[in-house]
Amino acid sequence: MNQQITAFADEFGTNSFDFQTQGSHFIVATIITKTENIENLRNEINKIRKKHKFQTGEIKSSGVGPNHSRRKRILEDIVKLDISIYAVVVDKRKLSGEGFSYKKSFYKFLNNLLYKELFRTFPSLDLNVDEYGGNDFMREFKKYVEKHHLRTLFLGSNFNIQNSKLSEGIQLADFIAGTLGYIFDDLKKSEYSNEFQQILTPIISSINYFPKELSFKEFKETNIDNTFDERIAEVCFLRIQAFLDKTIGEDQQKVDQINFLKLLLWLQRANPKNRYITTQEIVRHLNQNRPEKIKEEYFRTKVVGNLRDKGVLIASGRQGYKIPTSAKDLDTFVNHGKRIILPMLNRINEARQAIKLATSNELDILTKLEYSALRKLLDTN
């Protein structure tokens, strides 16, 4: 039986891609502890509050700010607590070319990523976050979890909203998130950054940096979909990687194809289940860094269709597109194609037979050389 774990999470950074004034990173820090240890942890945090003159106010990173020597002293007491730190650190500079400057897309992407990583890593988790004040991301994350929390996947897990003024754990998460900002963010870094990181290292269980180069090993290990078929997923993944490795964005079509495949890899990596990504969502991403707006017809034929012609396997259906990871994905793709192809073949065959009948077989509309494959297909049937 899994030991019950309680976590407190808070954020650092904004969704802005103005790196000169709003910073380069977005960070979510999670404080992890055994549920049975909560009361003792609260008492210890309150001792730190009094010792470091927070009085009755919240322990907040912004209250310490760039007073690095004070932050160092506080961290030296925090690492004595019976806690561990799990964090997701997103370098926004590496996402800026992929259409994430749209706030809704950015938060949705991070909601997927954080939710999947937390509940995959800690299957029995009571997660507590602060939705008050300026925590835009946590408010969105709350809505996301309420809508998508998969009880069948994460039995024994709960999600709670608390006011940070009443939660010492969330205050601690705020302080750690802010400190990680002083370690990683370009606008916050200083000669103290390495020292902060060294102090925290003993209680850091994991820092998930994103985005990162995605190997098939990680693609497989982060999967939580019970329909996942390693054989199908691997051949599809490797074909995408082969295309990305050998293709140069020498024209707009190739740039669109490269960006589309990277989006599929990143978005599918972030999702709790390997869901389909809608055409509208993909096109919105691609249009963020394109001189002229893309049309859906162009996307379907010149981007997706051309990639398939080159041997890249992409599943599609009414829900959108995805990298195939199961036999079900391939069935969806075949059935989707069947609904389009068979009616069209029947129409062509009806027209062909009508003309042949009217001309006593003297005229066959499929006699041209470029129709030979189609003619052979219809004659076989």
**pLDDT at residue 247 in the model:** 84
pTM of the model: 0.62
**pLDDT at residue 67 in the model:** 94
DSSP 356-369: HHHTTTS--TT-SG
Alpha helices (H) in the chain, listed in sequence order: 19-22, 38-51, 61-64, 68-78, 103-121, 136-148, 168-184, 193-200, 216-221, 230-246, 252-270, 279-287, 296-298, 306-309, 327-358, 372-380
Cis, peptide link before residue 211, omega less than 30° from 0: yes
What is the total residue count of the chain? 381
Q: How many angstroms separate the CA atoms of 345 and 337, rounded?
A: 12
Rounded to a whole number of angstroms, the CA Rg of the chain reads 26
**pLDDT at residue 1 in the model:** 41
Tokens found for residue 50 = 């009094």
DSSP state of 7: E
**pLDDT at residue 155 in the model:** 46
**Taking the chain (381 residues) in consecutive chunks of 10 residues, what is each chunk's mean pLDDT?**
74 83 89 88 91 81 91 94 89 72 70 72 71 65 68 52 70 93 93 92 83 74 79 90 83 85 78 76 75 85 92 88 88 80 87 88 86 84 67
**pLDDT at residue 164 in the model:** 59
Which H or E run includes 210? strand 204-210
3-state secondary structure (DSSP) of residue 53: coil
- Half-sphere exposure of 212 toward its Cβ, with a 13 Å CA cutoff? 12
